[in-house]
A and B are shown apart, each in its own frame.
Chain A
């Protein structure tokens, strides 16, 4: 059972490797982030990244492609359509990789909890290493979260990507439940024009109906 515990396994692995602590130190000090500006949270990133709160003093900077990034920022709500792209991006990223969920929406749906295209729990689809309350979180809260995340990386606790690997079936099942539906959720729609009728056919049909 002990071997099942990812935290212990991870710590053990790092203890065996004498360079583990050092590696973690450099990892936490050079994080490249891929900011996935899906929602309103993106508006708080410019002051965080630019000279006002200057994220670079923490050793963080934006990265162009998922393959080169360490950190995926989910800045707000995720619609089903963007969720699919987020999963693609996440799966492309090289390990070790970390996910930060901004604001209320990735935790429990936030203000969009009852909207038809927006998911409620991001945690059910990809592992989230750090969550920030707020709608949206201010730059201070974001920096606070990043510093905490750095602490977690140093201690070898930020292992969301290992959880994703180990419980991939669980995540995949949830992803499929939302993305790969084959049946209508409430009531299937019978499109009366499924056969793509032409204008003449429609006109004739209407004329026929009015005659009847």
Chain B
């Protein structure tokens, strides 16, 4: 093709480009607009934002950061007063951050997010180069807060997270199988399952703060993960001498605040503890438990402990590790208190109590069984013969609703019935039973009765009713779920009015009225009942499980008054000492029925008794 063949006007065709929209994005006058909203991708990983109301200060972002850009700084709040959170918040150093969003993907509460804001430039400002360097490092370190949060980018909504949100599988007996016997139905972790479960822990330590005994939970889970079970058990014994028992029946307040629980299921802290104890074996555990004693020489002081429940045992263990002589007085034939004579065997088999108690007996704690203080030995003589006395008698008696016909022979108190079941005595079991109460004791008696019914009649027919509405019941969720699985019908939100009798004087059933609320605005017990909304639960036996009471007959009126007794409980100082010199109080009678509180109380009492001896 020669030049002459083309039109003279060909070069002018480029003028058409004058009217085309330019490809250039003239930032900052305009910006990229391909995602519906101006700016980068809708999932862009720009500067961080952190919702301080949601953030729990666990520090996982700081742990996973590959560039060590995230530091936790204190918020100035007293850490111990916060529940379910640590008093620290992350700061991000943008002189380190590589915007990988590991922190967001690993944030258990979901508070940390990234935004579509990414422009952050700083001109030099200082005159001296050193000042400039320090100022710049400071300037590029930001505490992510609500800033930029109106322009959200990358967020992690659960499924993308790095955290393992589901609990490791653990073998349970099926409801059909377990309801037929009192054999323990939670079978515990295998080694692989325990390792997988231990790997879910992010070691934030919020659980430690929440646990009444302040157990070193992240440390012992780390021990399990490292397959160093001896270290794990040693950590447990630092704060809790009954790990085998607590590994089965603890009320696990730790799990309710577990960081993982914000997005998924909490780490099974209780079952991990059980795994460590069971896998190591009772001999090894007893050896580790008694190894703490070698650090102290005998002091020659003597302590009497009334009651071999969790508080008494805990105090006995720590006092004997401190070198003091300990004598425990117990009215029942074996140690364990409510744990042995209240909690059913399907939750806590006798062997695990025996194993934990064995460690103490080996350390030289003197157990005086079948010795009732007040009848066999007087409280005054204990005060005289011993340098200190710890009252840890617990709540061995039941309380009644005192409604119409509550004293009919076919009614019963839960705690006493449980006691009889545990002692192997036969108790009356009817075909249709109504249970009043919504706590763990109610669940225990309901499930125990269900087992007895299953054996006797081949079916379960139990109605459980309580004042608290659905979701407010004080029992553990697991207990409620398992009860329903076992065939127990739960009707929450009803107040018992009367036990109705038929013409022959036999129980016909329980009349209830709708309970609108249990606590008033001041969180005081003050139920409000709708007398018009009535219902009737048929049954020929009624069991009351609304609370427990203690037995202080061994104490004189003056002693009780001096010890600060008020409405069935004691008011004590932090050191667990009562108004009487040398007399300490611990356990359920201080903090209400809870095994881990009792263990913590026992430890505290032991420390203050030790302080008393060191002063004197």
Instruction: Please say whether the chains A and B touch (CB closer than 8 A).
Output: yes
Interface on A for B, CB 8 Å cutoff? 4-7, 51-54, 57, 104, 107-111, 113-114, 121, 123-124, 127-135, 137-141, 143-145, 147-149, 152, 157-158, 160, 163, 167, 170-171
User: Are A107 and B119 in contact, with the CB atoms below 8 A?
Assistant: no
Contacts of B124 in A (CB 8 A): 127-131, 158, 160, 163
User: Are A170 and B24 in contact, with the CB atoms below 8 A?
Assistant: no
User: Are A135 and B97 in contact, with the CB atoms below 8 A?
Assistant: yes
In the complex, B28 has a CB within 8 A of chain A: yes
Contacts of A144 in B (CB 8 A): 27-28, 119, 121
In the complex, B170 has a CB within 8 A of chain A: no
CA distance A15 to B140 in the complex (A): 33
Closest approach, in angstroms, between the C-beta of A144 and any C-beta of chain B?
5
Q: Known contacts being A113-B68, A129-B124, is A54 close to B24, with CB within 8 Å?
A: yes
Contacts of B123 in A (CB 8 A): 129-130, 148-149, 152, 157-158
Interface on B for A, CB 8 Å cutoff? 23-28, 31-32, 40, 47, 66-68, 93-99, 118-124, 127-130, 132-133, 136-137, 140
19 contacts between A and B (CB under 8 A): A53-B27, A54-B24, A104-B67, A104-B98, A108-B96, A109-B95, A110-B98, A111-B98, A121-B137, A123-B136, A127-B124, A127-B132, A128-B124, A131-B124, A132-B121, A133-B140, A138-B40, A139-B27, A145-B121
User: Are B129 and A167 in contact, with the CB atoms below 8 A?
Assistant: yes
User: Are B121 and A109 in contact, with the CB atoms below 8 A?
Assistant: no
User: Are B136 and A107 in contact, with the CB atoms below 8 A?
Assistant: yes
User: Are A107 and B28 in contact, with the CB atoms below 8 A?
Assistant: no
CA distance A104 to B98 in the complex (A): 7
> Which 6 pairs between the two chains have the least Cβ-Cβ distance?
A108-B95, A107-B95, A133-B120, A133-B94, A135-B98, A145-B121
Contacts of A127 in B (CB 8 A): 124, 129, 132
CA distance A108 to B99 in the complex (A): 15
- Closest residue of A by beta carbon distance from B23: A51
User: Are B132 and A123 in contact, with the CB atoms below 8 A?
Assistant: yes
Contacts of B23 in A (CB 8 A): 51-52
Contacts of A141 in B (CB 8 A): 118-121
Q: Known contacts being A129-B123, A143-B28, A158-B123, is A108 close to B98, with CB within 8 Å?
A: no
Given contacts A128-B124, A133-B97, A147-B28, 13 further A-B contacts (CB under 8 A): A6-B127, A7-B127, A51-B23, A51-B24, A108-B95, A108-B96, A127-B132, A129-B123, A133-B120, A141-B118, A141-B120, A144-B119, A163-B127
Q: Which residue of B67, B94, B136 contacts A111 across the interface (Cβ within 8 Å)?
A: B67
Contacts of A148 in B (CB 8 A): 121, 123
User: Are A111 and B120 in contact, with the CB atoms below 8 A?
Assistant: no
User: Are A170 and B121 in contact, with the CB atoms below 8 A?
Assistant: no
- Closest residue of B by beta carbon distance from A130: B123
- Closest residue of B by beta carbon distance from A120: B95
Contacts of A6 in B (CB 8 A): 127
User: Are A131 and B121 in contact, with the CB atoms below 8 A?
Assistant: yes
Closest approach, in angstroms, between the C-beta of A61 and any C-beta of chain B?
15
Closest approach, in angstroms, between the C-beta of A14 and any C-beta of chain B?
16
Contacts of A53 in B (CB 8 A): 24-25, 27
CA distance A5 to B93 in the complex (A): 29
CA distance A152 to B66 in the complex (A): 35
CA distance A160 to B99 in the complex (A): 29
Contacts of B24 in A (CB 8 A): 51-54, 57
Q: Which of A123, A139, A145, A163 has the most CB of B within 10 A?
A: A123
CA distance A27 to B32 in the complex (A): 29
User: Are A121 and B119 in contact, with the CB atoms below 8 A?
Assistant: no
CA distance A144 to B128 in the complex (A): 25
Contacts of A139 in B (CB 8 A): 27
Contacts of A140 in B (CB 8 A): 27-28, 31-32, 118-119
- Closest residue of B by beta carbon distance from A56: B24
- Closest residue of B by beta carbon distance from A164: B129
Closest approach, in angstroms, between the C-beta of A199 and any C-beta of chain B?
45
Contacts of B28 in A (CB 8 A): 140, 143-144, 147
Closest approach, in angstroms, between the C-beta of B239 and any C-beta of chain A?
36
Contacts of A138 in B (CB 8 A): 40, 118
User: Are B66 and A111 in contact, with the CB atoms below 8 A?
Assistant: yes
CA distance A157 to B126 in the complex (A): 10
- Closest residue of B by beta carbon distance from A124: B133
CA distance A1 to B123 in the complex (A): 24
Closest approach, in angstroms, between the C-beta of B262 and any C-beta of chain A?
28
Q: Known contacts being A107-B137, A157-B123, A170-B129, is A134 close to B96, with CB within 8 Å?
A: no
User: Are B127 and A5 in contact, with the CB atoms below 8 A?
Assistant: yes
Closest approach, in angstroms, between the C-beta of B196 and any C-beta of chain A?
31
Closest approach, in angstroms, between the C-beta of B22 and any C-beta of chain A?
8
User: Are B122 and A134 in contact, with the CB atoms below 8 A?
Assistant: no
User: Are A104 and B27 in contact, with the CB atoms below 8 A?
Assistant: no
CA distance A55 to B94 in the complex (A): 25
User: Are B95 and A123 in contact, with the CB atoms below 8 A?
Assistant: no
Closest approach, in angstroms, between the C-beta of A182 and any C-beta of chain B?
24
- Closest residue of B by beta carbon distance from A171: B129
Closest approach, in angstroms, between the C-beta of B134 and any C-beta of chain A?
9
User: Are B26 and A54 in contact, with the CB atoms below 8 A?
Assistant: yes
Contacts of B120 in A (CB 8 A): 132-134, 141
Closest approach, in angstroms, between the C-beta of B361 and any C-beta of chain A?
53
Contacts of A132 in B (CB 8 A): 120-121
Contacts of B98 in A (CB 8 A): 104, 110-111, 135
CA distance A180 to B436 in the complex (A): 84
Q: Known contacts being A111-B98, A141-B118, A144-B119, is A52 close to B133, with CB within 8 Å?
A: no
User: Are A108 and B118 in contact, with the CB atoms below 8 A?
Assistant: no
CA distance A138 to B25 in the complex (A): 13
Q: Known contacts being A128-B124, A133-B120, is A107 close to B67, with CB within 8 Å?
A: no
Contacts of B67 in A (CB 8 A): 104, 110-111, 113
Q: Known contacts being A130-B123, A140-B27, A147-B28, is A109 close to B129, with CB within 8 Å?
A: no
Q: Which of B25, B28, B137 has the most CB of A within 10 A?
A: B25
Closest approach, in angstroms, between the C-beta of A132 and any C-beta of chain B?
5
Contacts of A147 in B (CB 8 A): 28
Closest approach, in angstroms, between the C-beta of B524 and any C-beta of chain A?
54
Contacts of A130 in B (CB 8 A): 121-124
CA distance A82 to B96 in the complex (A): 20
CA distance A107 to B98 in the complex (A): 12
User: Are B96 and A110 in contact, with the CB atoms below 8 A?
Assistant: yes
CA distance A109 to B137 in the complex (A): 10
